[in-house]
Structure 1
Amino acid sequence: MFKLKIIVLFFIFFQLVNYNVFAKFSNEIIVSKIDADLFYSDDERIKFIKELIEQGNTEEALEKLYEFIEVVKKNNETKLIIEGNILLADIFRENGDYKKSTEIFNSIIPSISNDYENLQYIYFKKGGNFQLDSQIDSAKFNYEKAISFNKNIEGKEDLKAKIYANLSGIFYLNGDYESAIENFKIAADFQKTLGNKDIEAGILNNLGGVYYMQGNYKNALEMFEQAFNLVGYGQSDLQKQTRNTSFINMAYAYSGLKNYKKAFEYQDKFFSLNDSLQQELKYKEIAEIQSKYSLATKENETEIEKAKRRDAEVLTYGLGFAILVLLTGIYFLYKLYKLSKKNHALQISQEQLLNQNKIEKIKSDSQAKILVATLDGGLEERKKIANVLHDNVSALLSATNLHLYASKKKLKDKLPVEIDKAQNILEEASEQIRDLSHKLISSVLLKFGLGVAIQDLCEKSSNSTILLKSDSKNIERFNQNFEIKIFNIINELVNNILKHSQAKNGTIKLEQLNGNLQIIVFDNGVGFNENEIEVKSGIGLSQIKARIKMLNGLLNIKSTNEGTRIFISVPIIY
């Protein structure tokens, strides 16, 4: 349950990063730019300095800002002195010097005792500095101080909403869930008034998260559903991310309500949308690279055009410059030729890289097919051997034993001791044959199916150091070869848990859903690094991946030092 809550917190508090308020309530804040909506100045010099900051020219911005403050101090322009110092404190805050930022804010406060809007903004920013510096009590004091000015300020709902949202985070960190809920509701109401549906949805996700931590899964689900309804199926990045967060939150809420069917449904929606978002991110990165390349090409073309114009101007001054113009033209032609060759070589390298990637993919697919074919061949051989042992050898041993039993009846008192010994040997041989047949192919699997076989596997694998449990839903009889392949995959995962995880508990969940067999295997062990495992001794993992790939299935592995969770989904073969 502890691990589940940690995973839930990651998603339910992720949304706040986008609103310049505290993310995940882990004493972190994400601030990338001066918040123009909260701090505004109509002075053109401050606007110019803000533009420099937006462009990433922080050093130049600081130099200009210090010059500006010196000028307005000499002119005794109180309003601009305050605005300049607020901007300076924000810059120190962005660059991680929270102590210096707070000192500057404190120096401003005595001179603006009646300027309630700036006072509220400053106390809000001070609260953020203290929270970033892990001084939670000081952060709480400053947020509450900022709220105390509400009665003197009309409007500014956006700033007020952010103050209440951050204060909610403080209450959450202190374990005061009721106060956290109350403040989140106020923040959501402000955003609703402003019509900021996307931000309101993020706050509702956080509110649902607090309900979830209380164990109030019904209210949590209601908040997550409201958040989803606000963003709907909007296509902006923030709406997609909020929808994705709502899906996984609803999955956990339904899980808390023990409605596992709905939980799996929203989990599938989350995985599907999450994969899509990751793909979009890759496309955006590619587009950004292409854009930069196009910009560089245009700049190069512009330079060439300038050179041509210069050449034309030189020609107008007379024949005396003809040789110089000719040499310049030859020089630029040479440069263009070299650039053309370079671009051509780059294009060839790119094509070679693409072809190499295609070859590697074909090689990987071929290796997977060969591995699966080898496993399938071994499977068929084991089935044949098991059938021969069970149907033929075992039957012959039983028949021989019956003949000896009949002979004992006839001989009665003249019974040689060798007959008893022969019977004992036959019984031992029969038992070994049965054990060997079971090891080749599970008799429980063949007789009763996958669900019962996994339950039997868990019971036999459990011991004094680890408890394995199984949970099967809607599991019926499938194609025999399909059942054997799935059983072998799960058996390999169980062996990994027993050998490497150092876990005390493990669970295997099976569910038939929409024509797919979904398998979740998780434990509370030490976890592993998938890449290191594959490099060192990833034969078992490679076999599992190859088998799932040939079954057209999906494999997802998440492993931390708190445990491992493996999700598998494959189309069922009946």
Structure 2
Amino acid sequence: MNKIAHLSILFITSMYLLIPTLTYSQEALTNQVKELKIKISELEGGSKLKLMDSLSRLINYTNNPKLKADSIIRATIEYAYKMDSLEIAVARTSSLIFYYANRVNKPKEGINVFNDFKKKKLNISDNDILARLYTNAGDAYFFSGTIKESIPIYDEAEAYALKDNDSILYAEARTYKASAFVDMGDYATGSQLLSETAKIFTILKDTTRLIGARNTLAVVYSKMGFYEEAKKERTEVIQISKSQRDYRALIPNLFNAAIDANKNGDQVLRLKYLNESYYYNTPDESTTPRTKLSSIISYALLSAYSENDSLVKAQQFFNKIQNKFSNNKPVPFEYAYRSSLADYFIAVGNYKNALTNAQMALDIHLSTNNTEGIYESYDKLTEIYSGLNDFEKAFTYTSKYNRFKDSINSIQKSRALSYYQTLYETEKRDFKIADQASQIALLDAENKINRQWMLFGGAGLLLGFLIIYLIRSRRFIASKQELQEKFSQDLLNEQEKERSRLARDLHDSVGQKLMLLSKTTQKLGDENAEKLATNTLEEVRSISRGLHPSNLERLGLTEAINALIYDINANTDLFFTDEIDNIDNALSKESELHLYRIIQETLNNIIKHSEAKAVKMKIQKTANDIQVMISDNGKGFDLESKYKNMSLGLKTLFERAKILGAKMNLDSVVNQGTKVTLTITH
């Protein structure tokens, strides 16, 4: 079973994944089990254990209670311990946990098996078996509802997979962990993990798992309101599924794509995807459908044709549904069945039958707390009561619909904001790691030179050879250092581009929607909601300003620096004296941004660390250069110690200065303050 079915948010996808695919018919499997049991009863020792292990493997994926798979697997584990075959014992322990968690819906039994295994404290060296066991144990915790506890178990599964150099096991564990984060509401972390695993499956050319990971990622994007990203993922997955003729992946992906198209108001695309899913599921009406989704696809087509004034085709699907599904007990996917009937009766003007079915759909959604289904039912009921000329009830359901829609929009915005914040933090972390790797490489190169001098310094006969060798070595190291510096500078430039993009997305998308939400709550008179919306909007703007200085583009470099000083002056106890020449258009746009960042970071360091009372800034423009001087009267620091243990922030300042082609000096005396000078030739 594909454990992507973890995700409760997978709309319909998980439905087909829950259907086990057995190699044997039930009758054939039962007969084979009986034959193996007879043979096992006639054997002893290693031969018996080998057959018991084969039997356990055979029944591990069945959920037929008559076979009593758990008893057979337990007997195999017990006999394996008796025979001192730890490898088989642990492998079948993993199988038993899987059976309880993934086959017979007894995840707590799986947890008990896992805890009993840990108490034994066995010395197991097979990392492959341990990776599988911990992955299955993570599933047991997940399906038992203790989702948070599953994450460290999946972490251990990843660690064992890495030790075994098994990329597939590693990526699988991360995929299931992503499911856990998403189910806990952490869509940002979940989506990042899924992106990582999709890359691994792409490298491994594991198409089946790649389709599963990317389909899940598309659904997560959709839940965050990132419909374009979801569409991009899903379009590529659909193309891959078609090329591989993987219909069990293709059909639900087409169905999910139709759902997103409807949310975006693209009815043409909605009908296209639904008709494709219907065709691929049953290419010939006389054949057996490829998945168990025939009913819900038919309901969706009935709704789509009814809502788009295609009553002839709607009538055709209405008749099919009545003939094939309406008499089933229970009706498959009854919530969708009732909703589609309501859409059809609205289209033909039978508001009485429409009301009955819409109310039944609403009752099902309320019982399952399906927020999207509830607000869609409210919208339907508004239209029905309007058709019945009961405008009082129509207004009541309109109000309920608007409240639920605002709630869903707020949730999506919150998820989107969390995603951007997580992305920003990850960017900072990755930059720090890259910088550390860069410094380690530089130190390693310097140590290499020292070892060369010590090794060959006393070998006079090889002096000429060594001189040539060392010259080449120095050139290589200088080239390597140059490459490392270029890498750091490129990293800074890419970081600024990404910050700019994130700031623009926050301002243009999330910010605008929050502003609209603030105005809406103000009109409704809900002061608490208005205050929350206003505060959230200000937080988004603050994050946006931190990511990219919009003043730099709107006001120019000189006024942006003045605005920065004014802001610090207004919000701190620092006393500023400044003398700033107009330096607009003296530098390129990229250089202006780096200079602004240097000044911003220097002032931030003064605020955080210096304990200064006063700051002096002077920016002087001459015919040949720009000179920047920032000094404070704070506590200062020991320069020698500071250079030995240079912080990431200070390294970044010097890297930016290199990008500017500027000379930067840092002077500081303990208890006497600090002075930063920067000379930029223009």
Q: TM-score, normalised by structure 2?
A: 0.36
Q: TM-score, normalised by structure 1?
A: 0.43
Highest RCO, 1 vs 2 (Cα 8 Å, sep ≥ 6): 1
Higher gyration radius (CA): 1
